[in-house]
Amino acid sequence: MKVTDYIKNSNKTIFSFEIIPPLKGKGIEDICEGIDPLMEFKPPFINVTYHREEYDYKKMGNGLLKKVSIRKRPGTVGICAALMNRYKVDAIPHIICGGFNKEDTESALIDLKFLGVDNILALRGDPMKNESSFVPVEGGNKFAIDLIQQINEMNNGQYLYEETKNSPSNFCIGAAGYPEKHFEAMNLASDLRHLKAKVDAGAEFIVTQLFYDNKKYFSFVKKCREIGITVPIIPGLKPITNQRHLTFIPKFFNTNFPEEFSNELEKCKTNEEIKKVGIEWSIEQSKELIGAGVPVLHFYTMGKGQSVKEVASNVF
């Protein structure tokens, strides 16, 4: 079922979460351990992230280093199929532009259509570690909007290089939104214009980047509505649980901690204390967002379901 239909049919805030595929070589049990405790909150859908290849240096027999391209977390499509089968939920694969030409994308979409996947979160992907800005592969989509257009064309039965119309797909397309602006955007206004273009191209729901200041989310939604974005805007949350998050999360996700929160975090001496403050903050954020009537509360588990369970059990 489509995310938009779940939202239409629900009279309360829906719980959902995102998982990342396990490192190559690990079993599916690794992610199920994180998912099982969250199923009591009845998520109708689970998002599965996509991770493109990375360059690494491997030592060869002769002692020299060789630059190799490896995918550390493959398996997004297979995991989606496994989740649908095991938990009887909808799985939402994230599909990115990076590393795919349009034909690869079309083949992936055909696989997803055959699997009965109804929703896709369409993203550009980040630049590779060795690139200063995002570079599409030859014949690939440059921005998320190009990918959204490609999916939309397939939804209209228009496949690449085919003159006749084919069996249309019926994907409900989601796009990413950034309450504190995307890190590359010149300003929030230009980022919002690009977001509006993604919606006009066919995105039917938006999932936000994680944030810790609800005021930023409310202001973002207001600005979206002012420029004519009417689709559901799903807030994304991630409880802080350790010292590393204090620097990694603001840097990697371009998000600010409100002063009241950072002051409390700075007083903590152990990871246990940080986790307690992080979970309490996330519970308060969730209560306020639910009170404001958000359609879905979406949690980033980053492979760890326990802290999300602690938050969810206080609010759902």
Contact between residue 266 and residue 274 where contact means Cβ atoms under 8 Å apart = no
240 in contact with ligand FAD (CB under 6 A): no
Paired strand residues for 172 = 119
123 in contact with ligand FAD (CB under 6 A): yes
Considering only 79-87, 155-163, 179-187, 221-229, which stretch makes contact with ligand FAD by CB under 6 A?
Answer: 179-187
**Where are any strands of DSSP class E within the chain?**
14-19, 45-48, 54-59, 65-70, 90-96, 119-123, 172-177, 203-210, 233-237, 296-300
* Residue from 188, 207, 277, 297 binding ligand FAD (CB under 6 A): 207
* Residue from 172, 176, 279, 312 binding ligand FAD (CB under 6 A): 176
Count of residues engaged in binding ligand FAD, rule: CB under 6 A: 23
Phi, psi of 6, deg, nearest 5: -55, -45
238 in contact with ligand FAD (CB under 6 A): no
Q: Round to whole Å and give the CA distance between 118 and 155.
A: 11
Determine how β-strand 90-96 pairs with β-strand 233-237: unpaired
**What is the per-residue binding string for ligand FAD in 76-115, x denoting contact by CB under 6 A?**
------------------x-x-------------------
Tell the residue number behind the tokens 């921005």, with chain if given.
143
152 in contact with ligand FAD (CB under 6 A): no
Residue 76 Cα distances to 24, 32, 63, 69, angstroms: 11, 14, 34, 18
Considering only 8-16, 54-62, 118-126, 225-233, which stretch makes contact with ligand FAD by CB under 6 A?
Answer: 118-126
**Closer CB to ligand FAD, residue 182 or residue 276?**
182
**Closer CB to ligand FAD, residue 65 or residue 189?**
189
Closest CA to 262 of 251, 254, 274: 274
**Closer CB to ligand FAD, residue 52 or residue 275?**
52
Question: Is 18 an active-site residue?
Answer: yes
Contact between residue 117 and residue 80 where contact means Cβ atoms under 8 Å apart = yes
- Using the Cα atoms of residue 250, residue 253, residue 256 and residue 261 in order, give the sign of their dihedral: negative
145 in contact with ligand FAD (CB under 6 A): yes
232 in contact with ligand FAD (CB under 6 A): no
Binding site for ligand FAD (CB under 6 A): 49-50, 94, 96, 121, 123-126, 143-145, 176, 182, 184-185, 190-191, 194, 198, 207, 209, 236
